[in-house]
Chains A and B, each alone.
Chain A
């Protein structure tokens, strides 16, 4: 098997006060993996990725004046050097109807409890808006009011104020820990000078207590994939559409939903979804092999979140069981659930979203659907704690199906590109899918709603 590996060295960043000490040694990053010899374009991606991994305090300079030079690039057969075994695998987590635990209880345990626990650390890694969403928010008419459903730490609250003059969003999330961060999100041009200025409401994604017609737009970013049954995912999309204002004339109310993809890009660090399949099974996993049609895709997974303690960050040399993207000088390196901006680049000195993935069979030797790790830390050592969050990975077209199911269930007509009003539908609700796409391991769908 041909494998290409690249090691780049970040020589220096644009000098800043206090930075010299922080980056006394060059940051060295190993990138590698089968088939990653992509030449210049790929190197460019790597450089941008490296740039995006800078600590939060120097964020304003992300992407600027970063000097990186490849120090080694080899194409060799066999395993890459210094590639340790993955430590924390993503685990398939099929939800079965006959399980005693209800979906609600399961999500409480595998999503909500985890977020409450990791909220402060998680939040430090969620600060950079994803371009598709920033673009969407800039397209919103000025002085609009919107809903951010599953807002987490509220990082898009300031983004909308910057992108669409005078507009703002109300944050809805299940986690009070994340909302307490969201409350005090400040933008570059925040209109409130006092902390705690953002409007936050605690509720789940299916919250349907909003009055109808009050929001001009709605977003749900990286949230719906935490729901463990299809009906609950569809329900959450209903709840996103329900409070949107239905206008008979443009501008119509727009929405965007962004979820994690089963089809992980080959540069994704988490080898799950299609990447979790061994090469010989690859066709089966993607469904292109008729003989493998029965093979169950591992769309439901438990993704580890690793909190690394202060002791570990001092270790400069990789330990035998470290991840291939080793934390170096405390700046954890990961390619996680990230947008192109490296949104989840873990910048907290004590945090690493250590989502290196292996096939369950390799790790456990015996795949057992019921053998789930506890959501609470499985390793209670002071230096490292592992939490697992439940995700449903969306396959191509699935988000569209869910949106259409939600919309038609609510009496919306799905409107095509160029159907003209024929008069018979007057007053009827419609939904149009404006754009759907794949961006860096995520599927997104942008649409708008109105009345004929």
Chain B
């Protein structure tokens, strides 16, 4: 289950791929929404690490448009239960079970199978 929280952390790591390597674009996805007990403190703590634009863009690409274009600026809204609940749903309850993630920069495709994204590269693609 690639959830959006994990997707928001993953970049393309193909050798020399440094432009447009984030966020990866979901393609042909099968989604599953599974209710999960909300841990709003966890969400709150994660907010500063979020790439907001990537999250909103990605969520919309899979039909989830509950998040505002801009991250709320005032702390009261940002830390309101309503907003955190919304974030919890988007980050933690939407599971991408099948499909793939494509790099906009180099076009590399990372397959997702039974909820597990495969980030392995062929040897010549490894940038180390």
> Is chain B a partner of chain A in the same complex?
yes
Smallest CB separation, B25 vs chain A (Å): 15
The one of A166, A179, A208, A210 in contact with B128, judged by C-beta atoms closer than 8 angstroms, is A208
The one of B49, B116, B126 in contact with A214, judged by C-beta atoms closer than 8 angstroms, is B49
The one of A102, A142, A210, A243 in contact with B41, judged by C-beta atoms closer than 8 angstroms, is A142
A199 B1 Cβ-Cβ under 8 A: yes
Residues of B within 8 A of A235 (CB): 128
Chain-A contact segment, one of B2-10, B56-64, B65-73, B75-83 = B2-10
Say which size band chain B's interface belongs to. 35 or more
Residues of B within 8 A of A1 (CB): none
Chain-B contact segment, one of A73-81, A190-198, A300-308, A352-360 = A190-198
Name A's interface SS: loop
Smallest CB separation, A206 vs chain B (Å): 6
**Does B120 make an interface contact (CB < 8 A)?**
yes
Residues of B within 8 A of A201 (CB): 6, 10, 116-117, 119
A197 B36 Cβ-Cβ under 8 A: yes
B39 A209 Cβ-Cβ under 8 A: no
Residues of B within 8 A of A143 (CB): 39, 41-42, 44-45
**Does A213 make an interface contact (CB < 8 A)?**
yes
Residues of A within 8 A of B19 (CB): none
**Does B114 make an interface contact (CB < 8 A)?**
yes
Residues 95-114 of A at the B interface (beta carbon under 8 Å): 102, 104
Known: A143-B42, A168-B42. A183 touches B116 (CB 8 A): yes
A102 B1 Cβ-Cβ under 8 A: no
A170 B120 Cβ-Cβ under 8 A: no
B120 A203 Cβ-Cβ under 8 A: yes
Known: A166-B42, A180-B114. A199 touches B119 (CB 8 A): no
Smallest CB separation, A168 vs chain B (Å): 7
B6 A199 Cβ-Cβ under 8 A: yes
**Does A245 make an interface contact (CB < 8 A)?**
yes
Residues 167-206 of A at the B interface (beta carbon under 8 Å): 167-168, 170, 174, 176, 179-180, 183, 191-194, 196-197, 199-204, 206
The one of B1, B13, B39, B45 in contact with A197, judged by C-beta atoms closer than 8 angstroms, is B1
Say which size band chain A's interface belongs to. 35 or more
Known: A143-B41, A166-B42, A245-B49. A209 touches B10 (CB 8 A): yes
Known: A104-B123, A176-B116, A197-B1. A211 touches B51 (CB 8 A): yes
Residues of B within 8 A of A145 (CB): 42, 45-46
The one of A168, A196, A245 in contact with B115, judged by C-beta atoms closer than 8 angstroms, is A196
Rounded to whole angstroms, the CA-CA distance of A102 and B113 in the bound complex is: 28
**Does A31 make an interface contact (CB < 8 A)?**
no
Rounded to whole angstroms, the CA-CA distance of A104 and B126 in the bound complex is: 11
Residues of A within 8 A of B44 (CB): 143
B10 A210 Cβ-Cβ under 8 A: yes
The one of A193, A202, A210 in contact with B117, judged by C-beta atoms closer than 8 angstroms, is A202
**Does B12 make an interface contact (CB < 8 A)?**
yes
Q: List 18 A-B contacts (CB under 8 A).
A: A143-B41, A143-B45, A145-B46, A183-B115, A191-B37, A197-B34, A200-B1, A201-B6, A201-B10, A202-B117, A202-B118, A202-B120, A203-B118, A206-B126, A209-B11, A210-B10, A213-B49, A235-B128
Residue positions of A touching B, CB distance < 8 A? 102, 104, 142-145, 166-168, 170, 174, 176, 179-180, 183, 191-194, 196-197, 199-204, 206-211, 213-214, 235, 243, 245
